Amino acid sequence: MVLTETPPTGRMEWMDLLRGVAVLLVVAWHAVSIPEQFGGNETSDALESFNAAVAPFRIPTLLVLSGLLLERSLSKGPRRYVVGKLRHIVWPYALWFVLIMGSIDSLVTLTNPTNWLAGGILWYLAVLIVCYAVAMLRPRWLPWELFVLAPLVLLWILEPESGVPQRLLWFGAFFFLGAALKPHLDSLQRRLPGWGGALLGLVVVAGGVAAAERLVISQKPAYFLVSVLGILFALWLAPRIPSSPVTRLLQWYGRNSIVVYVGHALAVYLTYRVLAAIGAGESGIVVPVLAIAGVGVPTLLILARPRLDWLFVFPELRVPTNHAPRHLAEARS
């Protein structure tokens, strides 16, 4: 496998591009936040401002992209839908959550069901699992827009104190926003004129600056608006970006985003523990080293994925041909 390999037929390359950018921004965030989580020195104001500026778009973009594909997943039928999510999301979440908790000597916390719902550093996957479960139970006559508005209204009215309900309501709205946007995606990408996209981009830049300056606060209506406008701009812009070695590399990371997400989390935790053990946990090299580990380890895992795919997707269980029902055996022969 090479970094600029041809994408599988039928994939939307612009979606892989956005997913790659978003997941690498998550890596950048954790390279800064994990040292602070363990009591290390605070990072530079520039890094803090950058991460605050892109925070409205980082995870929300990943969730919207998943929501855009929701109807296609549901159309496969309940059995394939459930099995697919168990293999591709629940399995890597459970496996890597155990590995990460072990890496920080917190295996005892796995006995608490609330911790599985919280997800720790892998909370994005926990949110995704809940959203897919809710989507499967939705009556077909209920519009997706209701699943965007309802959690936000509950969040802003009830103001739950616990972080888990806050996170599920807030980020769940972005997942279902993706499903609600799907019928309008073609119009956004093809019919919005260049001047309209440019104007939208200027508004998004202003929103990012406002987030960096803490003029808009996370989980509030203005912050949600900034996130939505930024996502709309990204959806409009991405198909217009010409192919290049850089975009193909980002698409490669996007196609393997699950590897980047779970792999970087363990890599950054373990690397910081090593740095702390040798007395370098508060030195100026911490963030660069964590960033290198957060990208480098997933890169190696992606390159080795043909042999290690079971770490990221539960192996498909196939009935041996000689034991399969006749119609299945004939189909495989």
**What are the sequence ranges of the domains in the chain?**
13-332
- The pLDDT tens digits of the residues spanning 11-67 come to 789 999 999 999 999 999 999 998 888 776 667 788 899 999 999 999 999 999 999
- State the number of CA atoms in the 13 A half-sphere of 130 facing the CB: 20
Give the residue from 72, 53, 58 showing the smallest Cα distance to 20: 58
The whole-number average pLDDT for the span 126-130 is 97
**Quick one: tokens of 90?**
């629940």
Q: Which residues are CB-neighbours of 81 under 8 A, at least 6 positions away?
A: 73, 74, 132, 136
- Are 57 and 118 contacting, i.e. CB atoms less than 8 angstroms apart? no
pTM: 0.91
The 8 Å CB, 24+ separation contacts for 42-51 are: 43/287, 47/287, 49/212, 50/212
* pLDDT tens, position by position, 267-292: 999 999 999 888 887 888 899 999 99
- What is the average pLDDT score of the chain? 90
Place 3 in a pLDDT band, splitting at 50, 70 and 90. Answer: very low
Least trusted range by pLDDT, from 100-104, 118-122, 129-133, 306-310? 100-104
- Render 154-195 in DSSP notation, one character per residue: HHHHH--SSHHHHHHHHHHHHHHHHHHHGGGHHHHHHHS-HH
